[in-house]
Amino acid sequence: MKRSVFVIPLAVALAACSSAPKLTKEGAAIKNVSQYTVDQCRQLSVAEGYGSYENGKLKAAEIDVRNKVAAAGGNAMHVVQKYTVPKKGEGAILAYVLRCKPAVK
C-alpha cells in the first residue's frame, strides 16, 4: 500500500487535464463502510480515484473511485486516504475494494 501513497501525487497532477467523471449505476450502488464493518467484508483490491477539489470536497474523485470499485467487483469500499492539492484544485481518494455479504446497508 505504501507504493500507492507515493503514486497519488503524480496521478493527481496527470488527472488535472481530464473532465469530471459520470457516476455509473453500479458506482452509485457502492456503499462506503466504516472500519468496524470492514471485518465483515472480503478485500478484493485497492482503487484510486482522481478529480477536482472544489469547495472543500473531492466530488469528482469520489465518483471516480466508486466507479472503479464497482468495476473491480466490489459492492462496498472503505476510504483509506484522501489527498488534496487545494492550490491546484486537485485531489485523490485511495479506498479498499470490498465484497460484503450480505450487502452492507
Spatial neighbors of 26 by CB under 8 A, at least 6 apart, are: 67, 70, 71
pLDDT tens readout for residues 29-81: 999 888 767 778 999 999 999 998 888 788 999 999 999 999 999 999 999 99
Band of pLDDT at residue 18, cut at 50, 70 and 90: low
Strands 90-100 and 41-52 turn out to be antiparallel
By the 8 A CB rule, do 94 and 68 touch? no
> Does the reported pTM lie above 0.85?
no
H helical segments located in 1-105: 2-15, 25-28, 59-71
11 membership: H or E segment, kind and range: helix 2-15
Band of pLDDT at residue 19, cut at 50, 70 and 90: low
Residue 78 C-alpha cell reads as 472503505
What local confidence, expressed as pLDDT, does residue 28 receive?
A: 92
Q: Which domains, ranges and CATH numbers included, belong to the chain?
A: 2-100 (3.30.110.70)
What local confidence, expressed as pLDDT, does residue 43 receive?
A: 94
